[in-house]
Structure 1
Amino acid sequence: MRIFYIALSLIVFLLSSPTAFAQLTLNGKITDKNNKPIPGATIKLVEKKLVQFTDQDGAFEFTDLAPGTYNFTSSYIGYETRNTRFNLQAGKTQFNVILQDKDNNLQGVEITGRKEQAYKNTKSFSGTKTETALRYVPQSISYVTKEVIDDQLAFKASDIIKNISGATHFSYYNNDISLRGFRSGNALINGLRTPTSSWSQPLLPNVERIEVIKGPASALFANADPGGIVNTVTKKPLDEARKSINFATGSWNTNRLMADFTGPMNESKTLLYRLNLAYQNAESFRVLQGGEDIVIAPSISFIPDEKTQVNFDFVYSKTKSRLDRGQPIFGATAGTNLNSTPISFALGKRNDFENELNLYVTTSLQRKISKNVTFNASYMKFLYDEDLLEHRTSNRYAVDAAGVAIPTKMEMQTIRRQGKNYSDNITAYFVTDLKTGPLTHKVVTGYDYIQNESPVGNSNYNATGYRKLDGTVGNYNKNTPNLFVMKDGAPVPNVPHFDLVNPDYSISEISGYVNASSQTDPAKYYQHGIYIQDQISFGQFQALIGLRQEFYTDVLNYKKTTEKKIEQKALLPRFGLVYSPFDQASFYGTYTEGYQPQSAAQIGDPARFGGPFDPLISNMVEFGAKTEFFEKRLSANISFYRIEQNNVLVNAGNPGNTEELTQIGQQRSKGIELDINGSILPNFSLTANFAVSRNETTKSDKPELIGVLAANAPKAQGGLWTKYTFLNPDLKGLGIAAGVNYTGKRNTLNTALELPEYTLFSTALYYSIDKFKISANLNNVFNKTHWVGGYDFNRLYPGAPRNFMIGIGYTF
């Protein structure tokens, strides 16, 4: 009993003591060296893994802390990250941090990761091949950061096109978009050219940001599309530990899991790692579409000393799905009713499949040779592997005995294809810092080599056409019906027609058709170039002068006795000037040229494609302004441009030869674009874009084509996405977001068919508590029926109806 009273007395004493088990509140401010508050800065309490963001006065607060010594990490865009220790005790609860301006030892190649956690990005490698502040790049570069990707719960590249000015979909396929009115198919990963063989959209879990370099970029990246080129920047290791796991589920039985782990592997932080993992299993609003995706993407950075940096990336991306060729509607003879079939309508069979593997390895090196000279090099090896079975249209409607098209039935074909494609990309260059009197130079001299090969052994197994009495197949000829098998007064197709009124998606055995097996001809092209570029600084001006000599070789009849090299070359200039009258604004002008050789097949097979054809030549003149507001948290960029491209190839529209091409002469695109990214307040972020443009044919041998607008190129397009996080203590952790996107009317490849304009609304709700973040996104709130792109009556690409995603993330 005595022991009981002693214990009880001790407890009463401890509870009554004003200092025993006291929970303290830590207050503080983060300022710059001039004692100016830094709103929106991040401060992390390491031991408890708590994160706070400073308010408009640079203040932060941690509550319910026991006395003791704690470690803090403080960071903000444009400032050095600072690690500090603080001994918290009664009477000592005020903790202030001063951050120093970050005078970057700029990287030549992107090896260590971006620590910014905002909608705004401040620097880019892709615009100049060196890390340069975007406001000093004399060309428009749009981007979408991983924070926007995360807030919109985007998973594939097609989900984020809406955030880029002047960019619209052409189809569902990989990198098939329209930029400034020109169809674009080129793509980069970390500034290195990749093949565009795959059909599936690239995945985003390992993506730091998507950049779009507007206009011809041939002076930097060899042959490139005139409207622009997309550069995917992958996540790189950080020198601080960050870990997160995210799960999402939603419409069409979507289930998604992602993980991101990064940090140092040793105490000296000379070895850093990052591991991104992702898995998704989802269906689609489209019949028999959807599939399974998996991504495994480790990355390692080795920084043995201040002069050497090495990075290694490995990305394994596997997709199991079906190839969605789009929505067919009733034929032109029945009018242009886009609603004659539902947007969910697709062609195909249950046993169709499209299995794709994208695997690439990248190694990058930066070595500082001397105080003024740095050597940079990167190498990428890329593999694409495809295994395909599809029932698809022959791009024609079925015909009756008189050869008249039946607008509700599609002529079909089957394709069974297996093949691989390999690509090698090497770039090596020196960056030299010089001074000549009042001028400061950053000179880049380098060499690129790109090689792409489809090896021997790729194969097709196809069935198409109408059955003939002699057991063969061919295109039906109304003048010789006696050569074809007829049933009920109509020719019998080799692959049964697809009825748009009564669709049949049942399993179909392709062995029952008359098939033709053929080896896909091996193919190879390679290109290399030497270039020199000088970024000259003098006072408030910065000039960029660049020149590239490009050599392109396409091998015709590769691996055959008739092998022949088709060689083309071009000298490509680039000039730009930036004027920065004050720190928050820059004004620029630029002139650049682009070049795209026609393929050897198109040049070398006039019987199939027509021709001969001249190479594509383009040029661009662009002027613009780049500004920053709200303590440099928000950037706004406006550009005015004119692009001309000559010798454009389009389908000739010859029903007797659907592959015949014709050169329409010249296309010209003029427009205005606006991009806004960042934060108005630390808790109020936005990304916005707007574009007004006109891309039309200005020269052609066919007068009827002059003035015709380019396919899938609206005159007006724009979007807005905003996110607001409440700071009120009663609503702490709660955030809301809303977005709107508009796309104007567009032509298709068939000028008789126009796609209507549309406006879509989206919204999201977020709640963060401790280490958890819960989000709910609703897209296409008003369930607007719309089409994001289209080819013709038999291949349209509808956008998704109303859909939702719910996500939960855990950071530790």
Structure 2
Amino acid sequence: MTLFLRAVLVTFLLFTFQPLLAQNTGTITGTVTLIDGQPFASVSVSIKETGRATLTNGNGHYTFNNVSPGRYHIKIQVLGATEKDIEVTVVAGQTVTADHQLPKENVQALQEVTVASGTNKFSKKETRFVARMPLKYLENPQVYNTVSKELIQEQVAIDLGSISKNVPGAGIPMIANQGRVTFRSRGFETEPNARNGVAGAAFSSIDPVNLERIEAIKGPSTTLFGTNISSSYGGLFNRVTKRPYNDVGGEVAYTGGSWNLNRLTVDVNSPVNADKTALFRLNAATTHQKTFQDQGFTNNLSLAPSFSYQITDRLSLLLEVEFGQEKGTSVVRFNPLTTSGKTQTIEDIGVPYNRTFMSNDLTYSTQMLNIFAQANYKISSQWTSQTVVSRARSTINGYITALNGRANNTLIPNIIVGATNFIATDIQQNFIGDLNIADHRNRIVAGLDYYNNFNDFDRVTVNLPAVNYLVPNANYRISRFKVDSAANTGGTLRKEKNRDNTYAAYVSDAFNITDQLLVMGSIRVDRYQYLGVYNVNTGQTAGGLGANGVSIGPYKQTSVSQKMGLVYEVAKDRLSLFGNYMGGFFNRSGQAADGTPFRPEHANQMEFGAKGNLFGHRLTGSVSYYDIRVKNVLRTDPNNTNYSIQDGTRKSQGVEVDLTANPFTGFNVVAGYAYNYSVITNANADINGLRPDGSGPDQMINFWASYRVSKGQLNGLGAGFGGNYGSRSYQLNNRTTKVIIPSYTMFDAALFYDQPKYRVSFKVNNLTSEKAWSVRLTPQAPAQFLGSVALKF
């Protein structure tokens, strides 16, 4: 019998006997909900006697068809909760229901939750990444802000810079020359290089197409996250990615706009097997856009597939890939003359706002490949094992440009030509527990972390002839041919490889003294091994000292960091008071003139404040005061300028407010305020007592308010309005020379019509075309118009 005839016969038998099978079997169905009645997605449900298993869908619902009559036990298994067995009796031709409501809300901290709630839709505070244990927002002594996908969608935010507008204190993002984005946090620079709580470094642009939300974790976060994922003393930006879900669905969207913007995105999800325990999701995007300036463009592609598999009721596997490639031109980066002896604003300097002084053939190409694998195993009702492997690779080829200011209204183009590679590997093993000891609840995470970093440089830096930026020559053009000629005949060569390893162990315990009083203690030990710089031309690994006593050869350092916190819930699940004392560090190489080796630079933060979840979840947020002190900062030795000494200090103090509100149905508000006082407290005379360069504005405000009609013929129609304010700041700040970035106030507005099968949006960014600059003096775009159409299925 041919294969075709066999397929026809099987199909005939199925259609013939399916009705008879249904008459002789029964159905088991049910819904799993959280303690507040909201549906719980992706919960493992199995029949103990038969081994059949499935996952709940977005509505928390599950179904087993064609079950033979008899008595069975339905097992509901959730990370962070006690296993539940429900006995059912199946009768032929009938449906039996087995529902379950979880007794603890905290399980959502260890497993992604889909909550179909219209109340305060932008407030998605519960997370399993910030504390790495089942800890609610009100129980966590650390401040963190979240930007949900609902807010990202409503604001038609198509890049990380637009998303960060909603984070208090983030400021105007700094775009590096290859599309990499950097934010401010409490006066310090930090990058979004954490993904799902572990290293996901990307030295290139990151498309937000696969983002579930952004988590801005505030303060030194070394204890749980280390220093290898660009956590700074001010905080950490964590990208939480979209996960596969137990249903068939998706969306195709197109966005067009100013400066020839064309963007196409796809989101497709589907179960892979009949039991719906294997799930697949693909997010993809391609974007092309020119700049508002006279030259410049970007053209990129992003693919982000993810696969999850509930192998057994205790073991689950998640595999994600982020692939991105981009071709474009560098954004303007202007470096003013540092010895002008003047105090002036960037406006006073007079560099034209809409000119790049470069060419469209000076392009860079980047490629990013991040692979993330996670296995969760429920050891018992109290303990879960989590194993994570992350591999991140970024490559940069081509031309990276900057403009260096000189006297007499001139600038010199500075161009890097060549290739750069970054490869990072992170392996973690965590054991997460939720158990009672002497009638007191303990939530514990203990883990081991190995991180390897490898960098490869093969590039030349050249300077080209100066140009008067106020009256440039009519034939002025920086071409690829001119740059290549200069690189072949001179320039500064960097042809090297360097590597480092970090071995770490950490433990954290949240201990409930009472149901409302909680203390947290955490400690981390890091062993850092820098393996030196290998010079490809000489074949030697560099040793000895470089400028100012900084070693470029191998060295090793051990660091200890801590996190302590106290939380008292004044009103259980509604209002809490908190305080924390957290530490962070960065490794520093070299030695002083007397041969004393440098120690790691350290910072400690003291913070206290209040968190709320009030009026039936209609108002959530936090108010806090922080004080960060940094010590062991390197500075030039005043007695020997060829060396450094390690007695520099810095402090950063401030207040942050983060509020998300739903005063009445359909109306939502997101608002934030950040005040930051930063000062260098012990340094060389030219900068001592001053605010550090690049620390951003000392005051920032963000808000977004929107209303959506929730019933009637206009259901789904809405509008939003928001804005951002930043006080003046410094690109350069010393006793003799200051370059001031003016304050800014920028407003955005949106209209949208959201229906079950489609969504139409219109957005205007920077309504008034306010002139503004990042800390790298990159001009920001004037009014930008966006239109978007999405089809859902």
- The alignment's TM-score, normalised by the length of structure 2, stands at 0.79
Equivalent residue for 2:519, pick from 543, 546, 555: 543
Post-superposition Cα deviations, 1:583-615, rounded to whole Å, max 9, x if no partner, equal: 2112111111111112x4xx3899xxx997543
SS of corresponding position for 1:798? coil
Given residue 569 of structure 1, which amino acid in structure 2 is its aligned partner? T
1:721 and 2:697 are equivalent in the alignment: no
Q: Is the 8 A contact 2:393 2:421 kept in 1?
A: yes
Alignment of 1:615 with 2:600, yes or no, is yes
Q: How does 1:165-314 map to 2 (within 5 A)?
A: 165-169=168-172, 171-173=174-176, 174-185=180-191, 187-195=193-201, 198=203, 200-223=204-227, 224-314=231-321
**8 A Cα contact 1:776 1:805, kept in partner:** yes
Change (3 A) 1:524 1:107: farther
| Cα deviation, residue 107, structure 1 | 6.9
Which whole-Å deviations, capped at 9, do the CAs of 1:304-334 have from their partners, x for residues lacking one?
2321111000110111111224246799589
1:554 to 525, 530, 534: 530
> Given the alignment, which residue of 587, 591, 594 partners 1:597?
587
The question of whether the paired residues in 1 share the 8 Å contact of 2:352 and 2:470 is answered with no
For residue 375 of structure 1, give the secondary structure of its aligned residue in structure 2: strand
Is 1:666 aligned to 2:665, yes or no?
Answer: no
The secondary structure found in structure 2 opposite 1:122 is: coil
Match of 1:46 in 2: none
2:385 and 2:337 map into 1 onto residues whose CA distance is 59
The corresponding residue for 2:138 is 135
Aligned partner of 2:468 among 493, 499, 506: 499
Q: After TM superposition, give the deviation of residue 786 of structure 1 in Å.
A: 1.6
Once the two structures are superposed, residues 687-723 of structure 1 have per-residue CA deviations (whole angstroms, 9 ceiling, x without a partner) of: 2111122111122242752143553432211111112
Structure with the greater alpha carbon radius of gyration: 1
User: Does the CA contact (< 8 Å) of 2:604 and 2:630 recur in 1?
Assistant: yes
Give, in whole Å, the separation in 1 of the partners of 2:484 and 2:561.
Answer: 52
Aligned to 2:774: 788
Report if the CA contact (8 A) 1:170-1:712 is conserved.
no
Helix, strand or coil for the counterpart of 1:106?
helix
CA-CA distance at 1:105 after TM superposition: 7.7
697 and 463 in structure 1: CA distance in 2 versus 1, 3 angstrom threshold: closer
In the other structure, the counterpart of 1:55 is none
C-alpha distance 803-83 of structure 1, shift in aligned 2 (>3 A):
farther
CA distance in 2, matches of 1:704, 1:518: 31
Report the 3-state secondary structure (helix = DSSP H, G, I; strand = E; otherwise coil) of the residue aligned with 1:748.
Answer: strand
Question: Cα 1:390–1:215, aligned 2, differ >3 Å: closer, same or farther?
Answer: closer
Which structure 2 residues correspond to residues 478-497 of structure 1 after superposition, within 5 A? 495-497=464-466
Aligned pairs (5 A) from 1:51-90: 80=60
Percent identical: 23
| 1:730-784 Cα deviation digits (max 9, x unpaired) | 5333111000211111122344111111111111011234512111001111121
Q: Could you say which residue in structure 1 is the equivalent of 2:502? A: 527
Establish whether residue 381 from structure 1 lines up as the match of residue 415 from structure 2: no
1:27 aligns with none
CA distance in 2 between counterparts of 1:771 and 1:612 reads: 64
Residue equivalent to 1:468: none
What residue ranges of structure 2 are gaps of 5+ in the alignment? 1-30, 42-55, 66-98, 544-552
1:631 is aligned to: 616
Match of 2:723 in 1: 740
> Residues of 2 paired with 1:588 and 1:324: CA distance?
42
CA displacement at 1:727 relative to structure 2:
3.5
Match of 1:698 among 666, 673, 681: 681
1:800 to 749, 774, 781: 781
The Cα shift of 1:424 comes to: 0.2
> What are the Cα deviations for residues 114-159 of structure 1, in whole angstroms up to 9, with x where unaligned?
7778311131222211243222111001111111111111122111
Contact kept in structure 2, 1:75 and 1:82, CA below 8 Å: no
- The answer to whether the 8 Å contact 1:75/1:99 transfers is no
Which residue does 1:25 correspond to in 2? none
Q: Deviations over 1:468-512 (max 9, x none)?
A: xxxxxxxxxxxxxxxxxxxxxxxxxxx222331244345341343
Flag the 1:572–1:310 CA change in 2: closer, same or farther, 3 A: same
- Counting only pairs closer than 5 Å after superposition, residues 384-403 of structure 1 correspond to structure 2 as 384-393=394-403, 395-397=404-406
Task: State how far apart, in whole Å, the 1-side matches of 2:281 and 2:147 are.
Answer: 21
Q: Distance in 2 between matches of 1:762 and 1:652?
A: 48
Give the RMSD, CA atoms, in angstroms.
3.5
Alpha-carbon separation, structure 2, partners of 1:429 and 1:33 = 25
Q: 1:802 to 1:712 in 2, by over 3 A?
A: farther
Q: Which moved more, 1:728-737 or 1:142-151?
A: 728-737
SS at match of 1:348: coil
Q: How far apart, in 1, do the equivalents of 2:411 and 2:529 lie? A: 40
CA separation in 1, counterparts of 2:61 and 2:658? 28
Alpha-carbon distance change, 110 to 523 in structure 1, aligned in 2, over 3 angstroms: farther
Structure 2 distance, partners of 1:775, 1:512, is 48
Q: Deviations over 1:454-474 (max 9, x none)?
A: 24xx4113433xxxxxxxxxx
TM-score norm. by structure 1 comes to 0.77
Which has the larger displacement, 436-445 or 644-653?
A: 644-653
SS at match of 1:150: helix
Secondary structure at the counterpart of residue 150 of structure 2: helix
